[in-house]
Amino acid sequence: MKKQFPIGFWNYVNVKKQTPDDVGDWKELGMTLANSPSFSEGDDPARMLAVLDACAENGIAVNVCDERTLWTDASVAPVAYEAKFRAAYDAFGHHPAVRGFHIGDEPLDDRSFADCEAAFAVQHRVAPELRPFLNLNPYWKGIEKDLHCTDFSEWLAQLAKKTQMPAVSYDMYGQMAPQPGGVEDYFTNLRLFSAGAREAGVDLWTTLLCVGHYHYRCPNDDDFRWQINTAVASGVKGIMWFCIYEPSISNYRLAPFDSFGERTATFSMLSRANRSFLHRFGDFFTDAKFCGAYHFKQAFGGYPLFKPGETDARLTAITTDYGESPAIVGFFEKEGQKCVALVNNSQRESTLFHPHFSKKAGVASVSKMTWDGDFKPLTYNPSDVEFRETEDEIVLDAWLAPGQMDLYRLEENTCTDRS
């Protein structure tokens, strides 16, 4: 399977009701990853295999959701758990679409974490070529007491190392809750989970929201763009969406598929956001190295403020016109070159940003990522003035809608003295 930036979704449909035709919908939504339909003992394996075949044909990797592989009792009955896992692995684990098996969602107490550790151990031993998938609770103030720790990020890093989890994954929907507390919680989670994942040396994944429920609003175009780009600029390497099929309970509303199984307006918005990101940025962020993120104008969730000329000498200032939006400045490296992501961190306001790059600090020129995912050197064009150059600096214009991102590659003069 081609390596792609993982964008997937939570799936609660039983295999009896899922068909290979549904995979075409997932492809249209811009999904490169899927949680499979749920499978229980007694279900027909042929139905799951048919869905997996369709996923392979459409280039979609799969986390298999088989109840036999869930963590339940893995620590107290390891032999029985291994027998169940081997049965699931023999049935589905050799299929080319399979990325790994789902271990479970949101463990919290001591017993569930012990079971998770045991389940990881079995899966790594029996199927070392696969990547087990576990999703964690979000962080909330006071969770340290439940986890018997004083530093959440350190606890997370130790868990990731102990279990050899391929990626740290968690869910957080506060960004769609009433403001400002929800956005603060969202970025607190990004910061703490990112720190733990980086210490453990594994990728960071997060689950974002595509369905209104409880006190969470129904996301719109700006919200989808904002969720994807703020996460990626903060170091996230994989995204899951909750959830594309609307549960017929409580006040769930406007999922991409409603309770009748029909497409809603959200389908088009989510499809556009996913496919736009993948088309322009997907190849870059699949294997770019995350070096750190800073907030401009207003810091959320404990992130450090960007300090012009100090955070990175190459970026001496960010100024704004026609709006006062905060921003995220993410630093990345790829193929030995420094890259800077600039994201409008407002959920509602567009702003004209002006990043200032220092020629004295070694920036010879700046290339901007185009719509088609290529870096193009920026030069003066009188019909489209987005570039100004003086003896000391290069200044760009970046009109950014809510959550919109520009990505710049810094072409450096290696002979410049940066002392």
Share of the chain above pLDDT 90, in %: 93
Cα angle value 332/336/337 (rounded, 5°): 55
As a whole number of angstroms, the distance between CA 36 and CA 270 comes to 19
Q: In this predicted structure, what is the pLDDT of residue 245?
A: 98
- Asked whether the CA dihedral 228, 229, 230, 231 is positive or negative, the reply is positive
Q: Mean pLDDT, to the nearest integer, of 137-149?
A: 97
**Which of residues 148 and 412 earns the better pLDDT score?**
148
Q: State the amino acid at position 47 in one-letter form.
A: R
- What's the half-sphere exposure (Cβ side, CA atoms, 13 Å) at 287? 6
Q: In this predicted structure, what is the pLDDT of residue 383?
A: 66
- Does residue 419 carry a pLDDT above 80? no
As a whole number of angstroms, the distance between CA 379 and CA 395 comes to 11
Q: In this predicted structure, what is the pLDDT of residue 237?
A: 98
**Which of residues 1 and 155 earns the better pLDDT score?**
155
Q: In this predicted structure, what is the pLDDT of residue 302?
A: 98
pLDDT in tens, 300-351: 999 999 998 899 999 999 999 999 999 999 999 999 999 999 999 999 999 9
Quote the pTM value.
0.96
As a whole number of angstroms, the distance between CA 126 and CA 92 comes to 13
- Using alpha carbons, select from 338, 337, 335 the residue that is nearest to residue 311: 338
Confidence of residue 414 (pLDDT cuts 50, 70, 90): low
Q: What one-character-per-residue DSSP string does 144-212 give?
A: HHHHT-S-HHHHHHHHHHHHT-SEEEEE--GGGSSTTHHHHHHHHHHHHHHHHHHHHT-EEEEEEE-SB
- Does residue 299 carry a pLDDT above 50? yes
**Which of residues 418 and 392 earns the better pLDDT score?**
392
Confidence of residue 115 (pLDDT cuts 50, 70, 90): very high
Both tokens of 196, joined, read 């733990």
Both tokens of 354, joined, read 């002006």
Confidence of residue 82 (pLDDT cuts 50, 70, 90): very high
| Residue 3 DSSP one-character state | -
Both tokens of 311, joined, read 């955070």
- Asked whether the CA dihedral 214, 218, 222, 224 is positive or negative, the reply is positive
As a whole number of angstroms, the distance between CA 282 and CA 5 comes to 6
Q: In this predicted structure, what is the pLDDT of residue 385?
A: 66
Beta strand segments in 231-361, E: 238-242, 289-296, 315-321, 327-334, 337-344, 351-358
Confidence of residue 418 (pLDDT cuts 50, 70, 90): very low
- Using alpha carbons, select from 233, 379, 351 the residue that is nearest to residue 292: 233
- Does residue 416 carry a pLDDT above 50? no
Q: In this predicted structure, what is the pLDDT of residue 248?
A: 87
Would you say 49 and 95 are in contact if contact means Cβ atoms under 8 Å apart?
Answer: yes
- Using alpha carbons, select from 39, 33, 2 the residue that is nearest to residue 18: 39
Confidence of residue 279 (pLDDT cuts 50, 70, 90): very high
Q: State the amino acid at position 285 in one-letter form.
A: F
Q: In this predicted structure, what is the pLDDT of residue 417?
A: 45
As a whole number of angstroms, the distance between CA 212 and CA 216 comes to 5
Confidence of residue 179 (pLDDT cuts 50, 70, 90): confident
- Does residue 384 carry a pLDDT above 70? no
Tell me the average pLDDT of the chain: 95
Q: What one-character-per-residue DSSP string does 352-415 give?
A: EEEEEEETTTTEEEEEEE-TTS-EEE----TTS--EEE-SSEEEE-EEE-TT-EEEEEEEE-TT
As a whole number of angstroms, the distance between CA 169 and CA 204 comes to 6
Confidence of residue 150 (pLDDT cuts 50, 70, 90): very high
Both tokens of 64, joined, read 């298999």
